[in-house]
Amino acid sequence: MASLTIRKLDDAVKAYLRLRSAGNGRSVEEEVRVILGELVQGRPDPAAPTAAMAPPADGPAGPSARSHAAAQASVTLIIGGGIAAFKSLELIRRLKERHVDVRCVLTKAAQQFVTPLSASALSHERVYTDLFDPGSEFDAGHIRLARECDLIVVAPATADLMAKMAHGHADDLASAILLAANKPILLAPAMNPLMWNNPATRRNVLQLRRDGVIMIGPAAGEMAEANEAGVGRMSEAVEIAAAAVDILRPPRPRPLAGKRVLITAGPTHEPIDPVRYIANRSSGKQGFAIAAAAQAAGADVTLVSGPVELRDPAGVSVIRVESARDMLHRVEAALPADIAIFAAAVADWRVANEGEQKLKKTAAGMPPLQLVENPDILATISKLGERRPPLVIGFAAETEHLIDNAKAKIARKGCDWIVANDVSPASGVMGGDRNTVHLLQRDGKEVGVDEIKVDSWPVMTKEQVAAELVARIAKSLEKNS
Ligand SMILES: Cc1cc2nc3c(=O)[nH]c(=O)nc-3n(C[C@H](O)[C@H](O)[C@H](O)COP(=O)(O)O)c2cc1C
């Protein structure tokens, strides 16, 4: 039997084999054996060799000659011409690790940054680069690339590609696919911060969002250009892969569908004078996480938040306020609700004699600050009568006697549940990402301390606490329906 000397193969074939074998963690010889084995077993059909087996530029294999298992999700990945294109090679791997088939399209500019050969070797698929390629366009391959997938990901999404999309251009393969798409589109923009902030890009981003395009990033950070930083870095490959998988996943159960949920979060700022205020260390993370979890469970969520440095959770209507009184007004205006969750750390007191001008140091010493009590939002809403939401949940942030104080609070305020947590400095809860909470639930309508059930949860991330709380709410609605 004849032997095969890899050294004597065509250069393009050798390069392809090297990359494919590196991508699979095999030696080149092993890779050849695997390819031959697949051929013999009829995977894929030897009569219609797929481009994944052939060097990318060869052969007539179009998008119709795919070898994917029918059940596997698939992504058409469009790689645009930006520095971040190298991260898209990792993205291919990350998607494949998650059992997603990937077919890559490289723009002309992208090929200045990464080669079709690398993308082909990592995706194990032919790579597409040309709208007028007779090998794939004999049966309108660009339409197939747009349709024969479950999701189109554009990473990096250049300013140019986004402009083309926003204006409906189709003068190359990538833009033609995007215009012909009937599948969700996920963009991972990447560009210099000045390009990102340019009014033209801002307009295009707005238009694309209105058109239903989903975006991840860009993040803030250092740029490839020396001494430049700002918003414009492409999200990391793992983040993009996770977002893609999230979109590809079958729809989640929506146990709070049709329910209106009102949530408060963050601290309040109580003015002393036009430039100073009293505040606390609440970061708002727990309330924001609950809003996101309730939204994911299908609820119509309104989040009234004090001043925090957090992005609005997707799909949640967020109302930003400053003081406790503002918060109460906006909460009352947002009623009716089926469930109200008061996670905000509302200041108990405000300054009665708020200065109209900035207070000055004087020889007479410190100006006297008179404090008055703020409205109690939890108690006010819990005792509203007819307009009271059927389930009212408060938060008790305590530094001592946690359970006793929380039990007393549930009875005093008239709410149904309390999420109690230890916020002493040693706990790291204020501003941190983890929380150790106890869920206190009133048994029936009685408010006596004895009827309160206490359930202590292990230490969790604030997202996990949010998911668990939403699950308990869903369970309780089911029980009471
Ligand atoms: C070195 C270099 C880096 C570039 N990086 C980016 C980038 O990160 N983002 C971007 O939008 N454009 C970037 N560009 C400009 C694009 O390559 C250019 O707009 C190109 O036409 C985009 O083509 P495409 O959108 O078809 O891929 C860069 C250009 C060069 C020369």
Nearest CA, atom 28, ligand 1: 82
Distance CA 155, CA 240 (A): 9
Q: How far is CA 73 from CA 96, 99, 148, 245, 425, in A?
A: 10, 7, 10, 9, 47
Q: Angle at CA 420, nearest 5°, toward 416 and 424?
A: 155
Residues in contact with 467: Cβ distance below 8 Å, sequence separation at least 6, in sequence order: 293
The Å distance, Cα 112 to ligand 1 centre, comes to 9
Ligand 1 proximity of 81 Cβ (cutoff 6 Å): yes
Nearest CA, atom 22, ligand 1: 81
Distance CA 340, CA 338 (A): 7
DSSP of 254-293: -TTTT-EEEEEESB--EESSSS-EE-----SHHHHHHHHH
Residue 99: how many other CB atoms lie within 10 Å: 12
Domains, the chain = 8-54 (no CATH), 70-248 (3.40.50.1950), 260-350+370-480 (3.40.50.10300)
> What pTM value is reported for the model?
0.52
Atom nearest to 195 CA in ligand 1: 11
The Å distance, Cα 65 to ligand 1 centre, comes to 31
The Å distance, Cα 188 to ligand 1 centre, comes to 14
pLDDT of residue 213: 95
Ligand 1 proximity of 110 Cβ (cutoff 6 Å): yes
Among candidate residues 383, 270, 377, the one with its CA nearest the CA of residue 332: 377
Among candidate residues 380, 374, 332, 326, the one with its CA nearest the CA of residue 350: 374
Tokens representing 278 are 């009293």
Among candidate residues 50, 111, 52, 51, the one with its CA nearest the CA of residue 78: 111
Distance CA 90, CA 291 (A): 32
The Å distance, Cα 113 to ligand 1 centre, comes to 9
Among candidate residues 244, 227, 318, 226, the one with its CA nearest the CA of residue 94: 244
Residue 417: how many other CB atoms lie within 10 Å: 23
Best residue among 78, 83, 167 to mutate for probing ligand 1, ranked by most atoms within 8 Å of CB:
83
Ligand 1 proximity of 160 Cβ (cutoff 6 Å): yes
Angle, nearest 10°, between helix axes 85-97 and 116-123? 10
The Å distance, Cα 191 to ligand 1 centre, comes to 8
How would you label 125-145 residue by residue, b for 16+ Cβ within 10 Å and e otherwise?
A: bbbbbbbeeebbbeeebbbbb
pLDDT of residue 68: 40
Nearest CA, atom 14, ligand 1: 82
Ligand 1 proximity of 158 Cβ (cutoff 6 Å): yes
pLDDT of residue 398: 81
Ligand 1 proximity of 232 Cβ (cutoff 6 Å): no
Among candidate residues 415, 369, 367, 427, the one with its CA nearest the CA of residue 388: 415
The identity of residue 303, as a single letter, is L
Among candidate residues 293, 218, 234, the one with its CA nearest the CA of residue 259: 293
Nearest CA, atom 13, ligand 1: 82
Task: Give the bridge partners for 157, in sequence order.
Answer: 189
Going through 190-267 in order, the beta strands assigned E by DSSP cover: 214-215, 219-222, 229-233, 260-265
The identity of residue 48, as a single letter, is A
Element housing 18 (H / E): helix 11-24
* Residue among 280, 374, 421, 435 flagged as catalytic: 280
Nearest CA, atom 17, ligand 1: 81
Ligand 1 proximity of 223 Cβ (cutoff 6 Å): no
Nearest CA, atom 31, ligand 1: 82
Q: Angle at CA 52, nearest 5°, toward 88 and 177?
A: 55
Best residue among 106, 111, 160 to mutate for probing ligand 1, ranked by most atoms within 8 Å of CB:
160
How would you label 8-36 residue by residue, b for 16+ Cβ within 10 Å and e otherwise?
A: eeeeeeebbbebbbebeeeeeeebbeebe
Atom nearest to 110 CA in ligand 1: 27
pLDDT of residue 475: 94
Residue 405 annotated as catalytic: no
Per-residue pLDDT of the chain (481 residues; tens, 9 = 90+): 567 787 778 776 776 777 666 656 667 777 788 777 766 655 433 333 233 323 333 333 444 434 343 358 999 999 999 999 999 999 999 999 999 999 999 999 999 999 999 999 999 999 999 888 877 766 667 888 888 899 999 999 999 999 999 999 999 999 999 999 999 999 999 999 999 999 999 999 999 999 999 999 898 877 777 677 788 999 999 999 999 998 998 777 899 999 999 999 999 999 999 999 999 989 999 999 999 999 999 999 999 999 999 989 888 889 999 999 999 999 999 999 999 999 999 999 999 988 888 888 888 887 888 999 999 999 999 999 899 999 999 999 887 888 999 999 998 999 999 999 887 766 666 667 888 899 999 866 555 556 789 999 998 999 999 999 999 999 999 888 7
Distance CA 63, CA 145 (A): 6
Ligand 1 proximity of 82 Cβ (cutoff 6 Å): yes
Best residue among 158, 215, 225, 233 to mutate for probing ligand 1, ranked by most atoms within 8 Å of CB:
158
The Å distance, Cα 60 to ligand 1 centre, comes to 30
The Å distance, Cα 156 to ligand 1 centre, comes to 9
Ligand 1 proximity of 80 Cβ (cutoff 6 Å): yes
DSSP of 110-159: GGGTS-HHHHHHHHTS--B--TT-HHHHTTTHHHHHHHSSSEEEEEEE-H
Residue 357: how many other CB atoms lie within 10 Å: 8
The Å distance, Cα 190 to ligand 1 centre, comes to 9
Q: Tell whether omega for the bond before 44 is within 30 degrees of 0, i.e. cis.
A: yes
Q: Rg of the chain's alpha carbons, rounded to an integer?
A: 29
Nearest CA, atom 16, ligand 1: 81
Among candidate residues 387, 300, 397, the one with its CA nearest the CA of residue 342: 397
Distance CA 242, CA 246 (A): 6
Residue 200: how many other CB atoms lie within 10 Å: 12
